[in-house]
Amino acid sequence: MLSNILVGLVALIHLYIVYLEMVLWDTPRGHKAFGLEPRFAKASKSLAANQGLYNGFLAAGLIWGLWLGVAGFEVKVFFLLCVAIAGVYGAATVSRKILLIQALPATLALAALWLGW
């Protein structure tokens, strides 16, 4: 039960990231969330939307794993690993904040899943 709550939380985080990257990127809220200058945000809007789409696929995979129930164990593990790896890479290349926002929740969900919580 705890693992499904954590997987759902990771999916919700990624749905919010999708919204930030695809809808709010070139707005004051998007600028604040990602530490962007308005000029850069405008120039990189299409790249952010593409990145948001990938985050949407991660969320969709996690939701699919939840929908499958017990049979979705491997699906959840795969997508949580993808999220954790993306979070570590993002922390190394963009901002350490990504480690806390993305990689840590995914790692906690993975641990709960593997421990059968």
Residues 6-18 have pLDDT tens digits of 999 999 999 999 9
**In the structure, what pLDDT confidence band is assigned to residue 106 with cuts at 50, 70 and 90?**
very high
CA distance 14 to 6: 12
Domain ranges of the chain: 2-114
Predicted confidence (pLDDT) per residue in 64-102, tens digit: 999 999 999 999 999 999 999 999 999 999 999 999 999
In this prediction, residue 111 carries a pLDDT of: 97
CA distance 49 to 4: 28
C-alpha torsion angle, residues 97, 100, 101, 105 (rounded to 10) = 170
CA distance 55 to 39: 24
Predicted confidence (pLDDT) per residue in 22-35, tens digit: 999 999 999 999 99
Share of the chain above pLDDT 70, in %: 100
In this prediction, residue 81 carries a pLDDT of: 98
CA distance 47 to 45: 5
